[in-house]
C-alpha cells in the first residue's frame, strides 16, 4: 500500500510526464506551416527550430507553451508537497522534461527541454531565476545576440542559486541540467550518424 508521500510522488511524476508530453512545437508547426519540426532544420521540436523555421512571431506559442509545461508540472509538485518538502517541485519539472524529450503523444521523439526546465526553475528557484533572467537581458542589451544571452543566463543560474539557496537545491538543479546536456549530446550523435549516412 502506497504511503501518502509515495502517492504524491507517483501523481507528480505521472502528471508531470503527461504535461511534458504535449507536443506543442509540433502542433504549432503543423497548424502554421504543415511541417514536422523533427524532419527539418536542426530536427529539434522546440522553440529554437520553430523560430528558425517558422519565424519569430509564429514561434511565440512554442516559447510560451514549452515554458508553461515546466511551470505547471513544478506547481503540481508544490501543491502536493507537505510543508518543508521542496524537492517535489523538482520532480514535477524533471518528469515534464522527460515527457517533453520523449513524448508519448509524438512517437517519443521530442526536444531538449531547455524551456521546460526554465519554466520549472521559475517556480522552484524564483529568486535565482529572476537574477539569471536579468543577466540574460543585460547580456542581450550589450551583445544583441539572443543565443549568447541565453547561454549566459543558463550558466549563471546555478552559480546564483548556490549563493542564494545553498548546495542541496543547486545539486537538484544540476541533475536537471545534466539531463539537458545529455539531450544535446544525443542530438549531436544523431547528427553525426545522419551525416555519415548522407
User: Which tens digits make up the pLDDT trace of 168-181?
Assistant: 999 999 999 999 99
What distance lies between CA 183 and its chain's CA centroid? 11
HSE (side-chain half, CA atoms, 13 Å) at 74 = 25
> pLDDT band at residue 63, thresholds of 50, 70 and 90?
very high
Q: Which three cell numbers stand for residue 36?
A: 514536422
Section 121-138 average pLDDT? 96
**Dist. CA 70–CA 56, nearest whole Å:** 21
Section 2-25 average pLDDT? 91
* CA angle (17, 149, 62) in 5-degree steps: 35
Higher pLDDT, 35 or 157: 157
Evaluate the CA torsion angle 62, 64, 118, 116 in order and state its sign.
negative
**Dist. CA 173–CA 166, nearest whole Å:** 11
Section 16-20 average pLDDT? 97
Question: Is residue 2 pLDDT above 70, yes or no?
Answer: no
> pLDDT band at residue 35, thresholds of 50, 70 and 90?
confident
Q: Tens digits of per-residue pLDDT, 78-99? A: 999 999 899 999 999 999 999 9
Q: Which three cell numbers stand for residue 135?
A: 543577466
Amino acid at each position: 500500500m502506497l504511503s501518502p508521500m509515495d502517492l504524491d510522488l507517483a501523481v507528480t511524476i505521472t502528471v508531470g510526464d503527461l504535461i511534458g508530453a504535449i507536443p506543442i512545437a509540433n502542433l504549432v508547426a503543423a497548424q502554421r506551416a504543415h511541417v514536422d519540426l523533427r524532419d527539418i532544420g536542426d530536427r529539434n521540436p522546440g522553440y529554437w527550430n520553430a523560430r528558425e523555421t517558422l519565424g519569430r512571431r509564429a514561434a511565440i506559442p512554442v516559447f510560451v507553451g514549452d515554458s508553461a509545461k515546466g511551470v505547471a508540472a513544478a506547481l503540481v509538485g508544490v501543491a502536493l508537497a507537505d510543508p518543508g518538502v521542496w524537492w517535489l517541485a523538482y520532480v514535477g519539472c524533471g518528469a515534464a522534461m522527460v515527457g517533453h524529450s520523449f513524448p508519448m503523444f509524438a512517437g517519443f521523439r521530442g526536444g531538449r527541454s531547455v524551456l521546460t526546465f526554465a519554466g520549472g526553475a521559475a517556480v522552484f528557484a524564483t529568486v535565482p531565476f529572476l537574477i539569471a533572467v536579468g543577466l540574460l537581458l543585460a547580456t542581450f542589451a550589450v551583445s544583441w545576440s539572443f543565443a549568447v544571452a541565453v547561454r549566459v543566463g543558463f550558466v549563471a543560474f546555478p552559480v546564483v542559486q548556490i549563493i542564494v539557496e545553498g548546495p542541496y537545491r543547486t545539486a537538484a538543479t544540476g541533475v536537471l541540467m545534466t539531463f539537458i546536456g545529455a539531450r544535446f549530446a544525443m542530438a549531436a550523435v544523431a547528427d553525426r550518424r545522419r551525416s555519415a549516412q548522407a
